[in-house]
Amino acid sequence: MASPSLSSTPTPSTTTSPPLATVTLETSSPQPAAPATLIYATYTTVSDGFPLAFDRSLNHDQFFEGILHVFSAHVDDLLTKISSRDDSPVTCLIADTFYVWSSMICDKHNLVNVSFWTQPALVLNLYYHVDLLISNGHFKSLDNREDVIDYIPGVKAIVPKDLMSYLQVSDKDVDTNTVVYRILFKAFKDVKRADFVLCNTVQEL
């Protein structure tokens, strides 16, 4: 019988949404009156560390600092509590790629680390190789190059204006040491330690 897996999905950052992330526990224990082929899921919530009245949109930077430094402690505590139960242990953590601490949590609890990327696979690939954009001068330089980018593995030649907006800035225009960029850089360093990456892709349009 398969052991449960743990997945974490953030709630929208609005003043009306509770300061919680939804955690799903998938189990294979059938309920008496239901078909044996179904997989049952139970749910719990994890606080992001901020009170309900905290405006996550208005206090954007403070909220993301909490995602960087505080949220992981709440997930760790939940996993510790679940692991102390007598039923089947959690064996897998599925977390949004921008949760930069998933590999740390998985290492501590000996879990399979699954990074869940919700944007197109092309965007994942470009962010994944941000180090190449930096070393070739197309991003994070005082005067970014504007010629064709033809060195990203698996990506046909593109021009800089085809990059995501976060990667079209130069150091003279934007401070890339802000919390948003720190999360971006750390996330795509951490995702390289994932056992699996779940993402969206379209083979043909």
Q: What percentage of residues in the chain have a pLDDT greater than 90? A: 55
Which pLDDT does position 115 carry in this prediction?
A: 96
Beta strands in the chain (DSSP E): 5-10, 20-27, 40-47, 92-96, 112-120, 196-200
Domain that holds residue 142: 5-200
What are residue 6's phi and psi, to 5 degrees?
A: -115, 125
Which pLDDT does position 17 carry in this prediction?
A: 35
Tell me whether residue 162 is in a domain.
yes
pLDDT tens digits, one per residue of 142-184: 888 999 999 999 999 999 999 999 999 887 778 888 999 999 9
Tell me whether residue 102 is in a domain.
yes
Q: What's the rounded Cα separation, in Å, for the pair 110 and 130? A: 29
Tell me whether residue 46 is in a domain.
yes
Residue 114's beta-bridge partner residues? 94, 196
Q: Using 50, 70 and 90 to split pLDDT, how confident is the model at 26?
A: very low
Tell me whether residue 146 is in a domain.
yes
Number of domains composing the chain: 1
Tell me whether residue 173 is in a domain.
yes
Q: Which residue has the higher pLDDT, 126 or 31?
A: 126
pLDDT tens digits, one per residue of 68-101: 999 999 999 999 988 887 677 788 999 999 999 9
Tell me whether residue 205 is in a domain.
no
- Domain harbouring 63, CATH code: 3.40.50.2000
Count other C-beta atoms under 10 Å from residue 144's C-beta: 21
Q: Which residue has the higher pLDDT, 114 or 33?
A: 114
- 28 pLDDT more than 50: no
Tell me whether residue 52 is in a domain.
yes
Which pLDDT does position 13 carry in this prediction?
A: 40
* Among 150, 88, 97, CA closest to 123: 97
- 29 pLDDT more than 70: no
Give the chain's radius of gyration (CA, Å).
20
